[in-house]
């Protein structure tokens, strides 16, 4: 897992830009308030922090992530007393109980092996009547990824089973059920939709060749001939008979919000 999220520039090209596009919708649903103390669980390269920094003036933001390169990058991006970043595990958050007004997590829970433990930790570090919120890409719902795995499966049917097994907290109702099981109140789940704009086929394909994310790790395992077959299949799927050029793909995320009981 650590190797999948260690290359900052490659991650930004693959998913960071889309995380930044989703962050405003998620923050609005989470009812982010100014003049509060917010924890960003799995802050990554700082997509959510960037939005919070631009739209609040008095909020203190703490980011935590298991990737040392991501934390170092975030520290270089956000200077000042309002921001701090720590290397840490979502399942064992290094903070005292009731330390935050809001605990948020953007596009992380699908990667956490013990999601209930992580949700419990977010509840623990959030004060009574504080907000705990998270979102994940829906499955299916991230068409960029869906198309990739459909073409990979066409070439190797065994891929489908492996990809389905890797999904966590990505189907409608799963996040709400998790939040309720954690003991949070006023639980609400919703759908957030964005579009992904690609300037060319290479803008879509090349980020998969940088050993980042599940797709990048998979591409690394392929022989040159198999990789080229996947590339050509994706190109045909996305462009058809058209010449290369811009195109867009929809993306849907699931978000949940709940309140810590008194």
For residue 210, being part of any structural domain is answered with no
For residue 235, being part of any structural domain is answered with no
For residue 32, being part of any structural domain is answered with yes
For residue 104, being part of any structural domain is answered with yes
For residue 216, being part of any structural domain is answered with no
Six-digit token string for 232: 């050509």
For residue 58, being part of any structural domain is answered with yes
DSSP 138-163: EEEEEHHHHHHHHHHHHH-THHHHHH
Rounded to whole angstroms, the Cα distance separating 256 from 134 reads 6
The CATH number given to whatever domain includes residue 186 is 3.40.50.150
For residue 215, being part of any structural domain is answered with no
Determine the structural domain holding residue 80 and report its residue range: 3-142+167-197+251-259
pLDDT score, position 138 = 93
pLDDT score, position 214 = 87
Strands of 60-65's sheet in order across: 83-87, 60-65, 37-41, 100-106, 126-142, 247-259, 185-198
Integer angstrom CA distances of residue 221 from 125, 149, 200, 257 = 40, 14, 25, 38
pLDDT score, position 60 = 97
pLDDT in tens, the chain (262 residues): 444 455 788 888 888 999 999 999 999 999 999 999 999 999 999 999 999 999 999 999 999 999 999 999 999 999 899 999 999 999 999 999 999 999 999 999 998 999 999 999 999 999 999 999 999 999 888 999 999 999 999 999 988 755 555 567 999 999 999 999 999 999 999 999 999 999 999 999 999 999 888 899 999 999 999 999 999 999 999 999 999 999 999 999 999 999 999 9
For residue 36, being part of any structural domain is answered with yes
Domain count, the chain: 1
């Amino acid at each position: 897992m650590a190797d999948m999220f260690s290359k900052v520039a490659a991650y930004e090209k693959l998913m960071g830009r889309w995380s930044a596009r989703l962050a405003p919708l998620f923050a609005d649903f989470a009812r982010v308030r100014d003049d509060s103390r917010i924890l960003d669980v799995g802050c990554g390269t700082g997509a959510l922090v960037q939005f919070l920094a631009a739209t609040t003036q008095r909020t203190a933001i703490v980011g935590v992530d298991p990737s040392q390169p991501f934390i170092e990058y975030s520290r270089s991006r956000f200077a000042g007393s309002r921001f701090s970043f720590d290397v840490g595990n979502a399942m064992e958050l290094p903070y005292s109980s009731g330390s935050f007004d809001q605990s948020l997590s953007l596009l992380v829970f699908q990667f956490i092996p013990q999601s209930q433990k992580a949700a419990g930790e977010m509840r623990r570090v959030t004060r009574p009547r504080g907000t705990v919120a998270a979102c994940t890409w829906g499955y299916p719902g991230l068409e960029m990824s869906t198309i990739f795995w459909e073409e990979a499966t066409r070439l190797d049917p065994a891929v489908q089973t492996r990809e389905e097994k890797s999904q966590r907290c990505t189907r409608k109702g799963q996040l709400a059920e998790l939040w309720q099981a954690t003991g949070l109140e006023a639980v609400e789940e919703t759908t957030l939709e964005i579009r992904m704009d690609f300037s060319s086929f290479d803008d879509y394909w090349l980020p998969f060749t940088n050993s980042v994310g599940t797709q990048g790790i998979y591409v690394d395992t392929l022989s040159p001939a198999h990789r080229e077959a996947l590339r050509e299949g994706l190109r045909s799927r996305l462009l058809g008979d058209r010449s290369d050029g811009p195109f867009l793909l929809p993306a849907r995320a699931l978000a949940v919000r709940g309140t810590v009981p008194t």
